[in-house]
A and B are shown apart, each in its own frame.
Chain A
Amino acid sequence: MVPLILRILARLALGLLVLIALAPILWTALGAFKELRDIVTPVPKLFFTPTLDNFATILGNPTIRDGLVNSVLVVAASVGIGALLGIPAAHTLARHMRRRGDDIQFFVLSLRFMPPVAIAIPFIVIYLDLGIYDSLGGLILVYLVTTISTMIWLATPAFERVPPEIEEAAAMEGCSEAEVFWRISLPVAAPSLFGALVFTFVLVWNELLLALTLAAQNATLPVVAASITSLGKEVPWGVINAATVVLVLPPLFFIGLLMGLINSMIRSGGRTKG
């Protein structure tokens, strides 16, 4: 009886903690559906007539809409290319560069040591000279430094955990190195790689400084969101809340999509037709 009570108490405490952690997010989500007068009342309102006006404002505003599109394009491209180049590089590091691997890993990590501010200003000059200032391509290019290095940094240990004998067994069955990578190492390491992918995605999705300095017209969503908050005293709280929700949704959607993809990948186990 006593253990049961203890367990219930523990559950309650846990529930309370989760509620405290999630409360601001829930409040923001709630605020996105409120009219301004429901938000600025001295007594917080839990029950109100929901409205989609805020979302209409957001999605009807070309700056925000463009920001969203730009963000999706830039992040998809930089994370996609980062994974495409970084994951095979990580496999090679884990398998063939045992001795030099640590040095290379450190070099890759050192790319992340420098504060972005330090490179932002030189980059403006270089980008202006090259004529890629304020272009999505330019932004993708600078983000690739982050995504490729982070992917390598996080994916190398994932491949190191794949037992070499498994790859050797596949080689004994006649698989070429590329085939071993594609049909054995990648699916086996997939759950860990998933984490790396999500982390990289979040890094660039939230990136503000470089986006702010290297793009003016082609701003990404964090830049747009930042500009809304600096509107002065007449703060459109409902719109900000809705913008936040819009900013948060794509990563969640992306993570869900990726999880499904990886699950199916693991289940099928590289099965071929025929």
Chain B
Amino acid sequence: MAHIECSGIVKSYGAHPVIDGLNLMIPDHEFVVFLGPSGCGKSTMLRMIAGLEEVTAGRISIGGADVTNRHPGQRGVAMVFQSYALYPHMTVADNITFGLRRAGVPGPEIDRRLGEVARMLGLEPMLNRKPKAMSGGQQQRVAMARAMIKTPKVFLFDEPLSNLDAKLREKLRTEIRKMHNSLKTTTIFVTHDQLEAMTIADRIVLMRAGAIEQQGTPDEIFDRPATRFVADFIGSPSMNFRLGRIERGAAVAGSVRIPLPPGRFAVAEGQEVELGLRPTRMERVSPGAEGAITGRVSLIENMGAEGQIIAEVDGADMSFVTRDFRGLSIGDPVSFALSPDHLHIFDRATGRSCLA
């Protein structure tokens, strides 16, 4: 177990830098998720920590030891790949124990540890099978067992659940988190799925175009997004945005007028801003209520316990989520309001949050 320290990391292909001077500190035992859209450099970052990709400039240390130029096998890390990357010509047991056998660990010791991880991941009945004869979920379990049996200092997961169907993804996600709760090994998990990141992470590192856009706990990222990009990326359904301005202690955008809680925002009168309203932080209210937004229902998406209402407000769609959606039908007028502590305001020029 170890903390990870990346300082001044640069990665370029030719003259074009994809990551430019990135600094990151991951404390011991933490479960960190690298989150971002495809091409943001999150996988490249992970692969550099793994040693599969060379670092153009900068330093990576794991557990205090500089590993920047070490072979992947000498860094004390284990990795789980999106495509499972099992050795197709070996049985499950051989796949899991390959590294230990290679390192010359004595046979009885290998058998003991194999039994342990196989029990933990429910792989006992299939130890003699070939990977080809297994489902994707089972294959990924084998890959996890192969990583675990080495008792590494750091686990690296590169989009491990992306090739699985939704139900299995959820199940394995829980298992990975439980595994971390019991082993407490420092873990980096790469994903482009914000829900996956929110549910599994101690801390999210949200990346964009080779730089860290924001890092923090899932709550911080969700409730205090530092930029418009983060606010847009996190949350499902995604945040509603409206161009507006600050007028007499309220944020105004067309017919939408939301009073500003005192001290929450650092904004000036007349400032050009962009308002962010989370659909899940809004609720139906009576038409005359303070801060009420009124529109016409244009679509209702039934999600079971809740429904997403898409309403036309000032000629543009605005969505919100409510439990009280069953009485509504398309074309009805509807009033809803944002709970005042959940308004987001972004500077129009920089895209940065105006939270004080």
The A interface is mostly helix, strand or loop, or mixed, namely: helix
Assuming A187-B89, A188-B89, A269-B90, is B102 touching A168 (CB within 8 A)?
no
Q: What CA separation (Å) do A251 and B146 show in the bound complex? A: 42
Query: Do the beta carbons of A166 and B73 come within 8 Å of each other?
Result: no
Q: With a CB–CB cut-off of 8 A, which chain B residues contact A166?
A: 85-88
- Which of A54-62, A77-85, A142-150, A172-180 sits within the interface? A172-180
Interface size counted on chain B using CB atoms at 8 A: 31
Q: What CA separation (Å) do A169 and B146 show in the bound complex? A: 10
Q: Does A212 have its Cβ within 8 Å of any Cβ on chain B?
A: no
Q: Does A233 have its Cβ within 8 Å of any Cβ on chain B?
A: no
Query: Do the beta carbons of B91 and A269 come within 8 Å of each other?
Result: yes
List 23 A-B pairs, Cβ < 8 Å.
A163-B83, A165-B85, A166-B86, A166-B87, A166-B88, A168-B72, A169-B81, A169-B85, A171-B51, A171-B52, A171-B71, A172-B52, A172-B77, A173-B99, A174-B71, A174-B72, A174-B73, A174-B99, A179-B102, A187-B89, A188-B87, A269-B94, A270-B90
Assuming A169-B85, A188-B89, is B102 touching A174 (CB within 8 A)?
yes
Which B residue's beta carbon lies closest to that of A271?
A: B94
Q: Does A52 have its Cβ within 8 Å of any Cβ on chain B?
A: no
Interface string of A170-213 (1 = CB under 8 A from B): 11111110010000100110100000000000000000000000
Which B residue's beta carbon lies closest to that of A191?
A: B89
Q: Does A266 have its Cβ within 8 Å of any Cβ on chain B?
A: yes
Q: Does A24 have its Cβ within 8 Å of any Cβ on chain B?
A: no
Q: With a CB–CB cut-off of 8 A, which chain A residues contact B72?
A: 168, 171-172, 174
Chain A, 116-147, CB within 8 A of any chain B CB = none
Partner of B87 from the list A176, A179, A269 (CB cut-off 8 Å) is A269
Q: What CA separation (Å) do A163 and B87 show in the bound complex? A: 10
Q: With a CB–CB cut-off of 8 A, which chain A residues contact B78?
A: 172
Which B residue's beta carbon lies closest to that of A189?
A: B89
Q: How many A-B residue pairs have CB under 8 A?
A: 75
Which B residue's beta carbon lies closest to that of A190?
A: B89
Q: Does B79 have its Cβ within 8 Å of any Cβ on chain A?
A: yes
Q: What CA separation (Å) do A100 and B175 show in the bound complex? A: 44
Q: Does B50 have its Cβ within 8 Å of any Cβ on chain A?
A: yes
Query: Do the beta carbons of A274 and B81 come within 8 Å of each other?
Result: no
Query: Do the beta carbons of B101 and A266 come within 8 Å of each other?
Result: no
Interface residues on A, range: 20 to 34
Residues of A within 8 A of B (CB): 163, 165-166, 168-176, 179, 184, 187-188, 190, 266, 269-272, 274
Interface centre among A166, A173, A269 (most CB of B within 10 A): A173
Q: What CA separation (Å) do A175 and B87 show in the bound complex? A: 13
Q: What CA separation (Å) do A183 and B77 show in the bound complex? A: 21
Q: Does B304 have its Cβ within 8 Å of any Cβ on chain A?
A: no
Query: Do the beta carbons of B83 and A172 come within 8 Å of each other?
Result: no
Assuming A170-B87, A171-B71, A171-B73, is B81 touching A165 (CB within 8 A)?
yes
Q: With a CB–CB cut-off of 8 A, which chain B residues contact A175?
A: 73, 102
Assuming A169-B79, A269-B90, is B85 touching A174 (CB within 8 A)?
no
Q: What CA separation (Å) do A116 and B107 show in the bound complex? A: 56
Q: With a CB–CB cut-off of 8 A, which chain A residues contact B77?
A: 172
Q: What CA separation (Å) do A179 and B73 show in the bound complex? A: 12
Which A residue's beta carbon lies closest to that of B130?
A: A269
Q: With a CB–CB cut-off of 8 A, which chain B residues contact A179?
A: 102
Query: Do the beta carbons of A168 and B71 come within 8 Å of each other?
Result: no
Q: What CA separation (Å) do A228 and B319 show in the bound complex? A: 90
Q: What CA separation (Å) do A271 and B77 show in the bound complex? A: 23
Which A residue's beta carbon lies closest to that of B107?
A: A274
CB distance from A142 to the nearest CB of B (A): 36
Q: What CA separation (Å) do A271 and B85 show in the bound complex? A: 18
Partner of A168 from the list B81, B88, B101 (CB cut-off 8 Å) is B81
